[in-house]
Amino acid sequence: MKLNVNSEIALTHLLTRKKQTIIASLGVTVGIGIFIFMISMVVGFNRYSDEALFKTESHIRIYQDDTLSRPLIPKTKLGNTTIIINPKIANLSNTLLNPKKIIADLKKNENIVTVTPQVSVSLFYNNGISQINGVASGVNIIDANEMFNIQSTMLAGDIRNLLSTSNGILIGVGIAEKLNIKLYDNINITSSIGVVKMMKVEGIFKTSNSNIDLTKSYINLAISQQLMKESSSYLTDILVNIKDPNKAPEFSKQLKNLTIYKVEDWQAANEQSMSNKKTRQVMLGSISLAILLVAAFGIYNIINMTIKEKLNDIAILKATGFSGKDVINIFLKESLIMGIIGTSFGLLLASGLIKFISGIYIGGDREYFPIGFESSIFIIGGILGILITLGAGYIPAIGAAKIDPIEIFRK
């Protein structure tokens, strides 16, 4: 493509003032680079904390919520006396009715990745006189592993041993340490309704949450039903994982229409960490936006200075037939070129920073700094960089378009 005359003038301006051009572009480079880097850090960390959460929680949990007894007489008209009774928890059992039907229905939905039934049992772990209370999840271990990736958290043993050993148990590392129990040792458990069972430790796991390591265990579904003295149709929860965990709230709304039971998405179950997450996003987002703004002022400054120095040239151009639009066009092109150069190097800078920091060892179960290349952040950062520089160039360019050549010539 042949350069038109406006582009040619813009390019000449930039090339004859290389130093300023480079400095202004560098401002954009640093702004965009840090912006993308910070946002990537937020996204990486959020993803990491979500992943940690999903090792013990499903995206959606369906369970029988406690219902309160209703007053004997429903609320009557104003003025009438209403009998007040102390509300009591009314449900006799927290089992889900006809869970097989619910599971079969859920499995038909294409957005659902895994569905697994669960029985939660509150119990005590005993070894000699030491005792810890905790919660055992009675699961189908293969399904549960698909959902929580339990195998990846195992320190010792193998989850598949639960299949061959009906009274096998996988315990958290905290329980093992506190009760001084090793792999293949026996452990006594007492359920909340007093059923005692002798279990064999087939695995020890370690999650990123020490509280969970100190309370949680996995057992076979059948054992958990026995611990509650219930039949094989007894289920307390149905756990559901969907394709996009961020869509869990909408999806749980859909499911609420399909079942009478309580449907809870992970966001609702973890309000605390959700609000932490938001705070983090807002904080780092505003810091990086501020950096971007500073870069924009750099561009604004340079374009403004160019215009102040080139009043004569602008007057000449206008006298020889360039309109106000052409003048705006010339200076917009200048800031666009600086924006494109600055932004492209900014993308490179961000990649470099991300590459560098993702190699930093931080220990824990993640081992390396949780940050990754997010193409969507790079795209947003790139677009933002160019838009901001265009805006920063546009304001002084309007001023340049309004310059009255006669005033310049009269001086």
Q: How far is the CB of 390 from another protein (least distance, A)?
A: 22
Q: How far is the CB of 392 from another protein (least distance, A)?
A: 23
Among 310, 327, 305, 337, residue whose Cα is nearest residue 397: 327
The number of C-alpha atoms within 13 Å of 380 and in the hemisphere containing its C-beta is: 13
Q: How far is the CB of 322 from another protein (least distance, A)?
A: 6
Nearer to another protein, 77 or 410 (CB): 410
Between CA 92 and CA 88 the distance in angstroms is 11
Q: Are strands 130-139 and 216-220 parallel, antiparallel or unpaired?
A: parallel
Nearer to another protein, 121 or 338 (CB): 338
Nearer to another protein, 257 or 320 (CB): 320
Nearer to another protein, 285 or 405 (CB): 405
- Sort 60 into a burial class: Cβ within 10 Å, 0-12 / 13-18 / 19+: buried
Nearer to another protein, 320 or 375 (CB): 320
Nearer to another protein, 26 or 317 (CB): 317
Distances (CA, A) of 29 to 81, 340, 382, 385: 73, 10, 10, 9
User: What H or E segment, with its residue span, contains residue 220?
Assistant: strand 216-220
- Sort 402 into a burial class: Cβ within 10 Å, 0-12 / 13-18 / 19+: exposed
β-bridge mates for residue 62, sequence order: 238, 263
In one letter, which amino acid is 298? G
β-bridge mates for residue 131, sequence order: 126
Q: How far is the CB of 13 from another protein (least distance, A)?
A: 7
Q: How far is the CB of 319 from another protein (least distance, A)?
A: 5
Q: How far is the CB of 316 from another protein (least distance, A)?
A: 5
The number of C-alpha atoms within 13 Å of 287 and in the hemisphere containing its C-beta is: 13
Decide if 220 contacts 229 (C-beta within 8 A).
no
Between CA 58 and CA 113 the distance in angstroms is 11
Q: How far is the CB of 5 from another protein (least distance, A)?
A: 4
Binding site residues, another protein, CB under 8 A = 2, 4-5, 8-9, 12-13, 16, 312-313, 315-326, 404-406, 409-410
Nearer to another protein, 12 or 276 (CB): 12
- Per DSSP, the three-state class of 112 is strand
Query: Cα 387 vs. chain centroid, distance in angstroms?
Result: 27
Nearer to another protein, 266 or 331 (CB): 331
Q: How far is the CB of 397 from another protein (least distance, A)?
A: 16
Q: How far is the CB of 348 from another protein (least distance, A)?
A: 30
Nearer to another protein, 2 or 77 (CB): 2
Between CA 269 and CA 288 the distance in angstroms is 30
Between CA 408 and CA 410 the distance in angstroms is 6
